[in-house]
Structure 1
Amino acid sequence: MSLVPSLTEAVAASVPGALVGATDWCSRPADLDVARIGGTKNPDVERILALAPDLVLANEEENRAPDLAALREAGVGVLVTEVRTVPQAFRELDRTVTACGARTRPRWLDRAELTWAELPPPGRRSSAVVPIWRRPWMVLGRDTFAGDVLARLGVDHRYADHPERYPRVPLEELRAPAPDVVVLPDEPYRFTAGDGPEAFPGLRCALVSGRHLTWYGPSLAEAPRVLAGALRAAHR
């Protein structure tokens, strides 16, 4: 059972048939045919227990501690991941697929790790703000996986040293001093060409795939190429 979209995709690609359930937000793989148990923040605990999983996969950021405690109290094993850097993602993915019955390390995981290990040193570094929500505006702050992904691609986001991981910041503060680029992912808030860039007139905006920026799974193998392409397009 997986309560994390990234882990759902990773396990489905590594141990076919291992999953008995997943959240409503687990959209990969597209043909995943398992029971749906609600959202990451509001899973149906009784539904999960009725499915009798051997193990529930969770994440310390995406899932609520009371839900995980309720599962443990009912006798269900819970594996909680912590992913705040790219290297940590590879370690936790290895641990997760092994716990789910993978007998060998998945090839996609080897490819993804090699892709990141072989990245050329970034050239000129750029500054960015990275909104993840609006109404109110929230951005990447300290100690986030997405922030580490961008840093390894040569993009330093302005709030990396903020005391909070996802601070609320007034729009006027986000605009000035002007960052080199405003990175707008399509999740958790679905920023689009018509919903997001208009709030930053005169600034370059990069619309990026949230799956490649925030998911840790098979998408890691192509994330550097996809994200770098979106960032280059914003600077044309």
Structure 2
Amino acid sequence: MPVYTDQLMRSVQIPSIPKKIISLVPSQTELLFDLGLNNEVIGITKFCIHPAIWFRTKTRVGGTKNLDLEKIRNLQPDLVIANREENVEEQINLLARDLPVWISDINDMNGAMSMIRSIGNITGKEEKAIELCNSIEKEFNQLKAVIQNKKQAVYFIWKDPLMAAGGDTFINEMMEYAGFINLFKNKARYPVISADDILSLRSASNGGNVLILLSSEPYPFGQKHIEELKEQLPGFQFLLVDGEMFSWYGSRLEKAPAYFLNLHNQITA
């Protein structure tokens, strides 16, 4: 049986061409669909909303952080695809005792490209995966050539408490591509912040214009939250953004550059 190395440098024995795959990560579920693995994927999480047809028809095995381990085992998959950040380590370790679990760990574009190619290789869809990676890299290279002037920004992922994306995250790299300078790039992961923290950052930047990006996920920020935050952060510009474009590291990356360019044009208009 072939042995593959996942992104945690674990050795995972996987059948040559897996026939029964369970995905525990929404962005990687969408990738499996775009690689043409409709028959092979037998289980997804309740947060795997893309594609819609899979969300309606595939067996759901719980949430990303609250998996139904018994249901997963009963489905007898020959490949489980997980992620270090999105899934709970203890649950994944329990599954890995009995099943081949391949774990991704992605903080930047290189990690995303490596994951896509690896999944393509494991599932017998290597050619499609390479084509997808080439297309994504082309789109992002074109975007990089267009967006020059970058704006200072803070990216909120959660409310009560307020949490922002730090520097060692995939979101931070997408912010750079989208034309934003993350004012919390010197913080690790997802720091809890306060209005005073943001006001201090603006002061430190000599009063420069700072954008507050409110993500659609994991917390579903909406217009009502802008009105609330304006009271705490007067004088700031707020923008609702599609969290999937900033944080999904599978095939959705192919669509992200067009979204980022439109966002950039909207801000600079």
Length-normalised TM-score, structure 2: 0.82
1:61, CA displacement in angstroms?
A: 0.7
SS, match of residue 207 in structure 1: strand
- Higher helix fraction (1 or 2): 2
Determine whether 1:134 maps to 2:159.
yes
SS, match of residue 20 in structure 1: strand
> What's 1:233 paired with?
266
Give structure 2 stretches of 5+ with no counterpart.
Answer: 1-21, 203-208
> What's 1:207 paired with?
240
Q: Is the 8 A contact 2:120 2:127 kept in 1?
A: no
Q: Which has the larger radius of gyration?
A: 2
> What's 1:191 paired with?
221
Distance 1:191 1:234, change over 3 A: farther
Q: Which runs of 4+ in 1 moved over 3 A?
A: 106-109, 175-179
Give structure 1 stretches of 5+ with no counterpart.
Answer: none
1:197, CA displacement in angstroms?
A: 5.2
1:121, CA displacement in angstroms?
A: 5.6
> What's 1:148 paired with?
173
Determine whether 1:2 maps to 2:23.
yes
Determine whether 1:21 maps to 2:43.
yes
Q: Is the 8 A contact 1:130 1:140 kept in 2?
A: yes
1:217, CA displacement in angstroms?
A: 1.8
Q: 1:175 and 1:31 mapped to 2: Cα distance?
A: 45
Length-normalised TM-score, structure 1: 0.92
Q: Is the 8 A contact 1:12 1:18 kept in 2?
A: no
Determine whether 1:39 maps to 2:72.
no
1:109, CA displacement in angstroms?
A: 3.5
1:41, CA displacement in angstroms?
A: 0.6
What is the aligned-residue identity percentage? 29
Q: Is the 8 A contact 2:167 2:182 kept in 1?
A: no
SS, match of residue 52 in structure 1: coil
Determine whether 1:87 maps to 2:140.
no
Q: 1:95 and 1:103 mapped to 2: Cα distance?
A: 8
SS, match of residue 71 in structure 2: helix
Distance 1:98 1:16, change over 3 A: farther
Q: Is the 8 A contact 1:208 1:227 kept in 2?
A: no
Determine whether 1:11 maps to 2:11.
no
Determine whether 1:216 maps to 2:249.
yes
Q: Is the 8 A contact 1:5 1:26 kept in 2?
A: yes
Q: 1:232 and 1:35 mapped to 2: Cα distance?
A: 41
1:48 is matched by which residue type in structure 2? Answer: I
Q: Deviations over 1:92-149 (max 9, x none)?
A: 1111232223142344433222211333163222111111000000000121001001
> What's 1:182 paired with?
212
Instruction: Kindly report which structure 2 residues correspond to 1:161-176, keeping only aligned pairs within 5 A, or say none.
Output: 161-162=186-187, 164-176=188-200
1:72 is matched by which residue type in structure 2? Answer: A
Alignment coverage as a number of residue pairs: 234
> What's 2:15 paired with?
none
Q: 1:197 and 1:122 mapped to 2: Cα distance?
A: 29
Q: 1:115 and 1:100 mapped to 2: Cα distance?
A: 25
Q: 2:213 and 2:243 mapped to 1: Cα distance?
A: 10
> What's 1:96 paired with?
119
Structural RMSD (CA): 1.7
1:173, CA displacement in angstroms?
A: 1.6
Q: Deviations over 1:139-164 (max 9, x none)?
A: 001210010011123211111111x3
1:213, CA displacement in angstroms?
A: 0.8
- Higher strand fraction (1 or 2): 2
Q: 2:268 and 2:225 mapped to 1: Cα distance?
A: 19
Q: 2:63 and 2:236 mapped to 1: Cα distance?
A: 35
- Segment drifting more, 211-220 vs 2-11: 211-220
1:27, CA displacement in angstroms?
A: 0.3
